Amino acid sequence: MKKLLVFLAVSFMASKSFAQVSDGIYSLPSMPGWYAVHISNGDLRRFYTFSVTGDWFKYEGSQSGNKSVLAITGTEINEGIELTQSPVGFVSKTSYCLPADHEACIETDLSEKLTGMSALLSTGSLKAIYKVQFSAEMVVFESNGIAVVLIFEKEAGDNPYSHIGAYTMTISDELRLSNLDLVVTSDTEESSGLTFDLVITDMENPQISFDNITCTIADTETCDFLKKTYFTQVIRTL
């Protein structure tokens, strides 16, 4: 009996030491209106923080021990963060922020910890991230038999904008995602009324394509242009 208890204790300690942050969506209680999504593929990690008003940031990295170690991308600062699993979700800590004299880094407290609370976790084998032609990144994962689709869109230039959209879709046995249902969008003036299906090749390497694209608002000519210009190619990035 003593040997069994020792074995169980060692097994528990080992499982705890290699605990990883679960994939899915988290709320950020200290940042009202902000959420995060964590997605993994092997040891690689992708992490987005986003606001319902449309702002969002992307981090890329990998698993190191029991932590997701990530660096921000696409901004004028160089920030690194570490995520560890917690009983309610995850705990995030900034490990560095440069240049030190940048306003965002001056305001960053390296001793402060941010808590993420589990909101909608990934429960299936479908889990991937794609780059689409309309300057957006699309996160897709399965949760309790429903596909969750997050779209992060951002464009710099003379008229910069940042947009997020969250949707759910049903999953058929033929790996077709349909019945696109809007949960939240920051773009309240979207003028095309686009809807679509997503077709997945397989679960091992889930390449994806758009199908049954329709426009409930835009005219036929505009809709045809949108379909030919922005919905013919999808590239999986994770």
Q: What is the pLDDT of residue 67?
A: 95
Name the 3-class secondary structure at 142.
strand
Torsion (CA) 150, 182, 225, 138 in degrees, nearest 10? 10
* Both tokens assigned to 35: 């959420």
Residue 63: C-alpha distances to residues 111, 190, 235 (Å): 21, 38, 23
Looking at residue 221, the DSSP 8-state letter turns out to be H
Backbone angles phi, psi at 14, to 5 degrees: -65, -45
Q: Show the beta-strand stretches assigned E in the chain.
A: 24-27, 34-41, 44-51, 56-64, 67-73, 78-86, 89-98, 113-121, 127-132, 136-143, 146-155, 161-171, 176-185, 194-200, 208-215, 234-236
CB of 37 closer than 8 Å to CB of 25: yes
d(CA 119, CA 180): 20
Residue 41: C-alpha distances to residues 87, 204, 220, 236 (Å): 23, 11, 39, 12
Q: What is the pLDDT of residue 157?
A: 66
Q: What is the pLDDT of residue 16?
A: 43
Domain ranges of the chain: 21-121, 127-236
Instruction: Write down the pTM of the prediction.
Output: 0.89
Q: Which H or E element spans position 227?
A: helix 220-230
Mean pLDDT by 10 residues, the chain (238 residues): 44 53 97 97 97 96 96 94 97 96 93 96 96 95 97 80 94 95 86 88 94 90 93 96
Q: What is the pLDDT of residue 155?
A: 80
Q: What is the pLDDT of residue 169?
A: 98
Q: What is the pLDDT of residue 216?
A: 85
Q: What is the pLDDT of residue 183?
A: 95
d(CA 228, CA 81): 39
Nearest 5°: CA angle at 150, between 147 and 155?
155
Nearest 5°: CA angle at 182, between 177 and 188?
140
